């Protein structure tokens, strides 16, 4: 199983380039490796059809000339369009080695694959209107679009779109992943993302990374329900959400799941134990190894009281949904927040940032500052999922099926996270295992899934990650 892979900002990538150059590898050689590696993917996608390579002025454009020459040498019909002259030595050298013509406009262009090498990690401002319309015109005249390093118009470090960006089928990350390969809104134009390596990266540039699939384990021989993990879910006003979280939790590794609620949800699994009565007393059970509060909790005074009691229990706790709207400094006073794991979606993250006085613009900034400010682990879910803690590098995750944009899937995720926590995993491992289980369960459940299917699919997902 591949290990975690580093995710580098534009500045870090430039620093890596300098280290590799200092080790004796020339920029031209790096460009050759990048271009030839990328050409391999374009070759497959072209399937013998004509290819157009759009080259910009920098080294992204330089990669384009290498790709064009490599494909031409393999017998493909290749047209190069360059609206600007090369401005770097490496790009000029690559262009000098290109044996075909160079056009400056889209006249007569069309075919199977458009290769976008207009701008990569050096993009510093929005595309000029004439460049944006050239990309759009070419995109409309080709069946497939491959972006080299990044779709032109995507900001490398935060995934912002600097204007209209053509939606690509495939994006080839060169040398290392960049944050934009994992962040919205860039994710909506990146398509499938693949990494093209250009040599071993120096170790010191791993500030962020993408988390590889975990290897889950089976219960130990001699395990019993309490030793595997005893988790509690604090129920509230809406039974459905707690039911989804409970169902996901019983399937995700815990040996014993108890729902603290006045009555059983209508379709609760028989394996779920319901306990009504005094919450503080129930949470005093020393065998509890994790708690979940939030799905279906409500936002009343009674709900706030339940949250206060839950936080006092001094157990590893997942806080989600309604509970995230109740959480504040008063509730966290005197609480060891390092055992708390929150799972906000975008709206909940914004509301938390407001509560805790965090004025960051980006999702990554919000998650990282929230973790640093409160000490909690932040699993910022959504079409792009991030995991931030006060003391470890932020983790990105491969994007999951878009069918997950459906009511109740967040409740399923929080149930899985708490279940993993109850098995004794630390917050980071529990959260990343849960993110992978959730994504894998979505693959198992398939198109048009609903949250109930997702929870039911967790055992098959678990089996795939053993």
Ligand X SMILES: NC(=O)C1=CN([C@@H]2O[C@H](COP(=O)(O)OP(=O)(O)OC[C@H]3O[C@@H](n4cnc5c(N)ncnc54)[C@H](O)[C@@H]3O)[C@@H](O)[C@H]2O)[C@@H](O)CC1
- Residues that bind ligand X in the complex, under the rule CB under 6 A: 13-14, 16-17, 30-31, 34, 56-63, 87-88, 119-128, 148-149, 174-175, 198
Q: With respect to ligand X, which residue has the nearer C-beta, 191 or 424? A: 191
**From ligand X, K ion, none, interface partner of 159 (C-beta below 5 to 8 A by class):** none
Distances (CA, A) of 140 to 44, 122, 129, 178, 213: 20, 25, 16, 27, 37
Q: With respect to ligand X, which residue has the nearer C-beta, 154 or 231? A: 154
How far apart are alpha carbons 196 and 423 in whole angstroms? 37
Least Å distance, CB 136 to ligand X, is 15
Least Å distance, CB 196 to K ion, is 13
How far apart are alpha carbons 240 and 261 in whole angstroms? 12
Report whether 124 belongs to an annotated binding site: yes
**From K ion, ligand X, none, interface partner of 97 (C-beta below 5 to 8 A by class):** none
Q: Pick the stretch among 89-97, 109-117, 245-253, 331-339 that binds K ion (CB under 5 A).
A: 109-117
Least Å distance, CB 56 to K ion, is 7
Give just the sign of the alpha carbon dihedral 105, 111, 115, 116. Answer: positive
Report whether 345 belongs to an annotated binding site: yes
Report whether 391 belongs to an annotated binding site: no
Least Å distance, CB 271 to ligand X, is 52
Q: With respect to ligand X, which residue has the nearer C-beta, 66 or 441? A: 66
How far apart are alpha carbons 193 and 187 in whole angstroms? 9
185 preceded by a cis bond (ω within 30 of 0): yes
DSSP-derived secondary structure letter, 261? S
How far apart are alpha carbons 454 and 366 in whole angstroms? 28
Tokens of 354: 């407001």
- The reply to whether 116 sits near K ion by the rule CB under 5 A is yes
Q: With respect to ligand X, which residue has the nearer C-beta, 57 or 229? A: 57
Distances (CA, A) of 103 to 75, 83, 106, 316: 20, 8, 8, 62
**From K ion, ligand X, none, interface partner of 116 (C-beta below 5 to 8 A by class):** K ion
- Nearest CA-CA partner of 16 in 121, 127, 118, 110: 121
Q: With respect to K ion, which residue has the nearer C-beta, 149 or 320? A: 149
Report whether 410 belongs to an annotated binding site: yes
- The reply to whether 409 sits near K ion by the rule CB under 5 A is no
**From K ion, ligand X, none, interface partner of 154 (C-beta below 5 to 8 A by class):** none
Q: With respect to ligand X, which residue has the nearer C-beta, 125 or 224? A: 125
Report whether 278 belongs to an annotated binding site: no
**From K ion, ligand X, none, interface partner of 152 (C-beta below 5 to 8 A by class):** K ion
Instruction: Compute CA 225 distance to the chain's CA centroid, rounded to the nearest angstrom.
Output: 33
Biggest CA-to-CA distance, the chain: 81
Least Å distance, CB 9 to K ion, is 17
Residue 65 neighbours by CB distance under 10 Å: 28
Residue 93, SS3 per DSSP: helix
Q: With respect to ligand X, which residue has the nearer C-beta, 163 or 269? A: 163
Give just the sign of the alpha carbon dihedral 88, 94, 97, 101. Answer: negative
DSSP-derived secondary structure letter, 26? -
- Nearest CA-CA partner of 250 in 258, 240, 239, 241: 258
Q: With respect to ligand X, which residue has the nearer C-beta, 175 or 344? A: 175
Q: With respect to ligand X, which residue has the nearer C-beta, 126 or 219? A: 126
How far apart are alpha carbons 435 and 18 in whole angstroms? 35
Element (H, E) at 445: helix 427-445
Helix axes 346-355, 363-374, angle to 10 degrees: 50
Least Å distance, CB 173 to K ion, is 11
The residue assigned the tokens 């996901």 is 248
Least Å distance, CB 167 to ligand X, is 19
Report whether 9 belongs to an annotated binding site: no
Q: Which residues contact 135 (CB under 8 A, 6 or more apart)?
A: 54, 116, 118, 127, 152, 153, 166
**Site residues (CB under 5 A) for K ion, limited to 133-162:** 147-148, 152
Report whether 411 belongs to an annotated binding site: yes
- The reply to whether 59 sits near K ion by the rule CB under 5 A is no
Report whether 149 belongs to an annotated binding site: yes
Element (H, E) at 411: helix 409-422
Report whether 159 belongs to an annotated binding site: no
Least Å distance, CB 421 to ligand X, is 39
Report whether 28 belongs to an annotated binding site: no
How far apart are alpha carbons 83 and 386 in whole angstroms? 37
Least Å distance, CB 125 to K ion, is 15
Q: Which residues contact 102 (CB under 8 A, 6 or more apart)?
A: 55, 80, 81, 82, 95
Least Å distance, CB 106 to ligand X, is 17
Q: With respect to K ion, which residue has the nearer C-beta, 147 or 316? A: 147
Bind-site residues for (6S)-NADPHX: 59-63, 120-126, 149, 241, 296, 345, 411
Sites of contact with K ion (CB under 5 A): 116, 120, 147-148, 152
Could you list the residues known to form a binding site, using ranges. 59-63, 116, 120-126, 149, 152, 241, 296, 345, 381-385, 410-411
The binding site for K(+) consists of 60, 116, 152
């Amino acid at each position: 199983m591949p290990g975690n892979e580093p995710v580098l900002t534009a500045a870090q990538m430039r620093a890596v380039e300098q280290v590799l150059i200092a080790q004796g590898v020339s920029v031209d050689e790096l460009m050759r490796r990048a271009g030839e590696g990328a050409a391999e993917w374009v070759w497959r996608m072209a399937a013998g059809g004509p290819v157009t390579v759009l080259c910009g002025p920098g080294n992204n454009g330089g990669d384009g000339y290498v790709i064009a020459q490599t494909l031409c040498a393999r017998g493909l019909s290749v047209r190069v369009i360059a609206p600007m002259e090369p401005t770097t030595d490496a790009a000029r050298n690559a262009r000098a080695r290109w044996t075909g013509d160079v056009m400056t406009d889209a006249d007569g262009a069309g075919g199977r694959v458009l290769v976008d090498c207009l701008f990569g990690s050096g993009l510093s401002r929005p595309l000029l209107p004439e460049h944006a319309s050239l990309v759009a015109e070419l995109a409309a005249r080709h069946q497939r679009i491959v972006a080299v390093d990044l779709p032109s118009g995507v900001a490398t470090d935060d995934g912002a779109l600097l204007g209209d960006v053509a939606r690509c089928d495939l994006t080839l990350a060169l040398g290392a992943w960049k944050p934009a390969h994992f962040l919205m809104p860039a994710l909506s134009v990146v398509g499938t993302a693949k990494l093209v390596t250009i040599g071993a990266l120096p170790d010191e540039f791993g500030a962020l990374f993408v988390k590889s699939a975990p290897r889950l384990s089976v219960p130990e021989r001699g395990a019993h329900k309490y030793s595997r993990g005893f988790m509690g879910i604090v129920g509230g006003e809406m039974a459905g959400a707690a039911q989804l979280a409970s169902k996901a939790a019983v399937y995700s590794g815990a040996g014993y799941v108890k729902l603290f609620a006045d009555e059983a949800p209508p379709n609760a699994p028989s394996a779920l134990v319901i306990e009504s009565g005094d919450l503080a007393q129930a949470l005093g059970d020393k065998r509890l190894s994790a708690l979940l509060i939030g799905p279906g909790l409500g936002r009343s005074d009674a709900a706030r009281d339940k949250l206060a009691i839950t936080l006092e229990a001094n157990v590893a706790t997942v806080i989600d949904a309604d509970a995230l709207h109740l959480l504040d400094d008063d509730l966290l006073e005197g609480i060891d927040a390092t055992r708390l794991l929150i799972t906000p979606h975008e709206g909940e993250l914004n509301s938390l940032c407001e509560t805790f006085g965090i004025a960051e613009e980006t999702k990554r900034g919000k998650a990282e500052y929230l973790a640093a400010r409160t000490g909690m682990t932040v699993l910022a879910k959504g079409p792009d999922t991030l995991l931030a803690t006060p003391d470890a590098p932020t983790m990105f995750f491969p994007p999951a099926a878009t069918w997950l944009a459906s009511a109740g899937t967040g409740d399923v995720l929080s149930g899985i996270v708490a279940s993993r926590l109850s098995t004794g995993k630390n917050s980071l491992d529990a959260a990343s295992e849960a993110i992978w289980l959730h994504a894998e369960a979505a693959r198992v459940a398939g198109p048009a899934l609903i949250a109930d299917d997702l929870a039911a699919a967790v055992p098959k997902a678990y089996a795939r990650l053993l």
